[in-house]
Amino acid sequence: MAAAAAAVVAAGRPPPPPPRRSSAAARAGASHSLSSPLFLVPRRNVIASMLSSLVFAPIARHEIAIADASSFGFREYIDNFDGYTFLYPKSWIQVRGAGADIFFRDPYVLDENLSVDISSPSSSNYRSVEDLGTPEAAAEKVLKQYLTEFMSTRLGVRRESNILSTSSRVADDGKVYYQVEVNIKSYASNNELAVMPQDRVQRLEWNRRYLSVLGVENKRLYELRLQSPEDVFREEEKDLREVMDSFRVVKAID
Ligand SMILES: *[C@@H]1O[C@H](CO)[C@@H](O)[C@H](O)[C@H]1NC(C)=O
């Protein structure tokens, strides 16, 4: 992971620690709260009502206001040793030990995050992302990978997935990148063992957007992946697309 080599280029100090949210507000941002009436309130409104409440001290109010700025503001993450760079929302925090080469998540929405994965150097000999086939063929592989990762052993869980778009573009570095966008919904039955079918009600557990940008350099395949609850994605779409568009693979220093 070359952590020591990875440099976060940022103006100023690291972001302030996320302010504490009430658990109701925290749940409002999470996808498993779909049955909660708070789900109907857009996240920014929840934050706005938190702002106006007297529960928060002035300092916390200030921090929330920064995080709630309508455009994120970005930091650039540069890893010259593993060979990639991208912009990420500056309020997001790095999580170590999450299994990826690098991992950041939103401080409020626990299931909104992004990560970079790289194919192992010994087993890869990629020349271009086109080695994966067409963008459509690559999308099928990416979706299969997602579904394998999210496989559930719980009884009564059903996943519904849709490839929303696949595309290929040549970025300003002259390299080809593929982008794949997928929606996955998870339904769970709360009483799978019920004898009567009408008692086995399936309800929506989560509804998420997954975006992957794929690129090849240093003979390796790189994937920047963003995962977000659908409702949050729609709210922050412009900024999140900027993150995906910023991903570049670069010659690694060895
Ligand atoms: C990242 O988000 C996904 C869903 O969007 C969630 O399942 C996963 O637990 C999150 N990972 C971490 C380490 O927070």
The string of pLDDT tens digits covering residues 52-80 is 444 443 444 333 344 444 457 999 999 99
Q: Are 90 and 106 in contact (CB under 8 A)?
A: no
- Helix pair angle (230-245, 43-52), 10° resolution: 100
Residue 87's pLDDT is 97
Cα–Cα dist 179/232, whole Å: 20
Cα–Cα dist 186/73, whole Å: 32
Cα–Cα dist 152/143, whole Å: 15
- As for ligand 1, residues whose beta carbon falls within 6 Å of it are 95, 98, 105, 110-111, 113, 208, 227
Cα–Cα dist 46/93, whole Å: 21
CA–centroid distance, 105 to ligand 1, in Å, is 8
61 alpha carbon, distance to own chain's centre: 26
**Which residue among 32, 33, 113 is best mutated to probe the pocket of ligand 1, counting the most ligand atoms within 8 A of its Cβ?**
113
Indicate which residue's Cα is closest to atom 11 of ligand 1: 111
Domain boundaries, the chain: 23-249
Burial pattern 77-104, b for ≥16 Cβ within 10 A else e, equals bbbebbbbbbbbbbbbeeeeeeebbbbb
Give the tens place of pLDDT for each residue, 211-237: 999 999 999 999 999 999 999 999 999
Cα–Cα dist 31/228, whole Å: 9
Residue 71's pLDDT is 58
Q: Are 98 and 19 in contact (CB under 8 A)?
A: no
Would the pTM count as exceeding 0.85? Answer: no
The pair of three-digit structure tokens given for residue 45, joined into one six-digit string: 């409104």
Continuous segment of H or E residues that includes residue 185: strand 176-189
Mean of all residue pLDDT scores within the chain = 79
Q: Band of the pLDDT at 209, cuts 50, 70, 90?
A: very high
For the chain, what is the largest distance between any 2 Cα atoms, rounded to a whole number of angstroms?
63
Residue 136's pLDDT is 97
Indicate which residue's Cα is closest to atom 10 of ligand 1: 111
Task: Give the architecture (CATH level 2) of 23-249.
Answer: 3-Layer(aba) Sandwich (3.40)
3-17, 111-125, 164-178: segment of lowest average pLDDT:
3-17
Question: CB count, 10 Å around CB of 178?
Answer: 25
Which stretches of 106-175 are assigned E, i.e. beta strand?
113-118, 157-170
Cα–Cα dist 56/189, whole Å: 38
End-to-end CA gap in the chain = 13
Indicate which residue's Cα is closest to atom 2 of ligand 1: 111
Indicate which residue's Cα is closest to atom 4 of ligand 1: 111
Indicate which residue's Cα is closest to atom 3 of ligand 1: 111
Q: Is the pLDDT of residue 167 over 50?
A: yes
**Which residue among 103, 108, 110 is best mutated to probe the pocket of ligand 1, counting the most ligand atoms within 8 A of its Cβ?**
110
Q: Which residues lie closer than 8 Å to 204 by C-beta, 6 or more apart?
A: 34, 185, 186, 187
